[in-house]
Structure formats: structure tokens, C-alpha cells
Amino acid sequence: MIILLTGGTGYIGSHTAIELIKLGHDVEIMDNLFNSKIEVLDKIEKIAGEKPKFHKIDLLDKDGMDKMFAEGKYDLVIHFAGLKAVGESVEKPLKYYENNVGGTINLLECTKKYDVKKIVFSSSATVYGDQGVAELTEEMQTGVGITNPYGETKHMIEEILKDVAEADPEFEITILRYFNPVGSHPSGLIGEDPNGIPNNLMPIIMKVSTGEIEKLRIFGDDYDTVDGTGVRDYIHVVDLAKGHVAAIKKMKQGVSIYNLGTGRGASVLEMVAAFEKASGKKLPYEVVGRRAGDLAEIYANPSKAERELGWKAELTIDDAMNDTINYLKHLKNE
Ligand code: NAD
Ligand code: UD1
């Protein structure tokens, strides 16, 4: 298949590109490089043996998008492109709604016009809001209790996709709700390398280990969890990438929704301990107050993806930590 990855030079897109190329798919990437680097293309080539054709286009550039679709012969689009900094989305909500929701509408107009009716969308566990239980399943009601505009954009896009599929039954749409992606490619060549100050736990741990951030601030140790710190479902990015490969093999008409997670939760202190074990070094941290909008504990029920897609996460947190240390070594030598 000829597959277009929007946001494909980013963290999850680049790992997915590798898995798709390895299976013989023709991969093209469009990205505005706002949060990724062009050098990722060479690294994909080094790992997978082929360099994806690249289009430096913004989702908001309607003419550029139209031209790309007019020239391309895509069978399927995986839509990763989007802004994802939760804190920034609270400060600049319009930027997030315009980029994520407006950009997706532009993309969907092109897919309709050029008859590309298979779409996979990167959604997030954030759409579940606060369910009052830790284990999340796909049929739960979404969109209630989302605490930031970033999360709202994910929910809105899911609703738009459902309406698009309702209006045109030829659409085959798969929504993948990612839990917390961590780790890097085992080659050490690609990984998460965000521009600016990160918000998420793993990139912060990485920057503490390199000395760019003085210490990790743990947001609360008084939750009702195994050790009082927040619990999340951390999934190795290579497992996540393979989830996309499994999903595109089983596309069907209408909208299908899958959690991509491991089904197991880990606490912040367990993540710190795993990083220390892999690096052989202490990670400085202090416990501070809770972060607004945080939940105590959430993890995926991933059984639908296993049942219907034949996919399940196989790598461990220790694998993710070892691959992250390897990636940090490569970054240092670049
Ligand atoms: P990323 O920032 O590494 O990749 C996203 C890419 O999209 C970047 O390369 C960026 O330059 C590009 N982009 C953003 N706006 C664009 C626009 N207007 N036009 C063209 N390109 C644009 O992020 P990621 O972690 O790889 O996430 C990929 C997707 O998965 C995002 O939609 C994100 O919201 C979603 N997601 C990520 C996580 C996570 O923790 N990483 C969790 C759940 C969902
Ligand atoms: C956050 C977002 C969520 C988004 C997801 C992936 C919030 C409230 N939620 O979720 O909308 O979909 O990222 O982008 O921002 N932690 C610390 N110290 C830190 C950073 C994190 O203790 O400096 C803790 C958090 O309290 C949490 C865990 O680490 O318990 C994971 O945090 P994070 O990586 O931000 O992910 P989520 O909270 O799951």
C-alpha cells in the first residue's frame, strides 16, 4: 500500500514508518517540522533501508495539501500530526483548536475529494476523562471531564470522524487511543526529542539525566495508589508502532476504536527506579504538590485490540528504559 503519514517525522510517526517500510509498504511523510527534524528521514532510511518521500506542508495549508493529494496515490492515511503540549493548550486554546481540529478538517476534505477512504487517527486515553475507575475500555462514554483543550481536540476529532463515516459509509476509520508512549527504537537512532521544555514524565526524566533539568518534580505522593504517586500505562513506542501495522490489516467500514496500552500500570516512583536500574545512576527528584487535572491511576484494558487485531504489547518498561539510555548516548554523540 501507499501510505501517507501526517506528522510522520515525529516521535510515534517515525517509529511507525519503520515498521511499515519493513513490511514493504510505500511510505510518504508530510510534516511542517514544527516539532521534529528533517534528519529523522535519514535515520529511518538507515534502519529500514528506504527513505520516505517527504512533503514539508502544514495541515493548515489547504492548497499545499490539495496539491500533494492530487499528485499522490494514497491508499491510506495515518494522521499523527498535531500539537500535544497540554500546558500550552491551556494558554493558547485557539492555536490548538485551529491546528488540531481545523487541520484535521482540511485533511478530511482532501481524503474525501481524492477518494482516500482509509484513515487511522492518533487519539489518546485523555478522551476518557475521569471515569472513576482505573481500567479503561473502549465502550465507556468519552468527552466528560476532560481538563484541557488538547484533550478536547482529541475528543472533537473522534466525533468528527464518526460523523464523516456516518455520512459516507465507504470510509474505513480506525481510532487508536494511545496510553503513555515511552522508549525509543533499539537502534538508538530515533526517539523522543521534543523541541522546548517537555511536559510528560519520560522526556523530563531524560532531561534530568542529562543535567538539562535539575531534578524531577513528582506531582504528589498522596494518591491512593501502590506508593502514593500517579499510575499510568506506559507502552513501548515500538509496540505502539506495531499496533498501527496490525490496525491497517484489519480496516473495516465505519469507525473502529482500540486502546493501545499494555494493561498494566506503573507508578512514577517505579518509573524512576526502572530508569535508575538501566542507567546505573541516581535520578534526583523531589515530591511536590499534585498537578491540576491529574488522575491517580489509569491503565488500558487492551483486550479488544488483542481479540480483533491480534496485537498485544510485548516489550517491558525495562526494555523502554534500556532503549532510552541507548538513544541518549546517540544524542550525546551527534
Ligand atoms: P510529535 O510532536 O513528535 O509528532 C507530531 C508531528 O506533527 C510533529 O512532527 C509536528 O511537527 C507535526 N505537526 C504538528 N502540527 C502540524 C501541522 N499543522 N502540519 C503539519 N505537521 C504538523 O508527537 P507524537 O508523540 O509523535 O504524537 C503523534 C500523535 O499522537 C499526536 O497527534 C499526539 O497528540 C498523539 N498522542 C501522543 C501521545 C504521546 O504521549 N506522545 C499520547 C497520545 C496521543
Ligand atoms: C498527560 C496529559 C494528557 C495527555 C498525556 C500524553 C495532563 C493533566 N494530562 O497525561 O492529557 O494525553 O500527557 O501527552 O497533563 N509526572 C510527574 N512529574 C512530571 C511529569 C509527570 O510526577 O514532571 C507524573 C504525572 O503526575 C503522572 C505521570 O507522571 O502521574 C505521567 O505524566 P504524563 O507523562 O504527563 O502523562 P499523563 O499524566 O498520563
- Ligand 1: which of 56, 84, 205, 232 to mutate, most ligand atoms within 8 Å of CB? 84
* Mean pLDDT across 241-268: 98
Task: Using most ligand atoms within 8 A of CB, pick from 6, 11, 100, 110 the residue to mutate for ligand 1.
Answer: 11
The predicted structure's pLDDT at residue 119: 98
- Binned at pLDDT 50, 70 and 90, residue 126 comes out as very high
Active site residue 150: yes
Length of the chain (residues):
334
Q: Which helix (H) or strand (E) segment is 234 a member of?
A: strand 234-236
Catalytic residue among 74, 96, 150, 234: 150
- Spatial distance between the Cα atoms of 272 and 295, rounded to a whole number of angstroms: 19
Among the bound ligands, name the one nearest to the CA of residue 283: 2
Per-residue pLDDT band for 196 (boundaries 50, 70, 90) equals: confident
Cβ(89) to ligand 1 under 6 A?
no
- Report residue 193's pLDDT band, with 50, 70 and 90 as the boundaries: confident
Residue in the block written with cell 487535572: 293
| pLDDT (0 to 100) of residue 194 | 64
> Is the minimum distance from the CB of 161 to ligand 2 under 6 angstroms?
no
pLDDT at position 84, please? 94
Q: Is 263 in the pocket of ligand 1 (CB under 6 A)?
A: no
The Cα–Cα gap between 206 and 275 comes to: 9
pTM equals 0.98
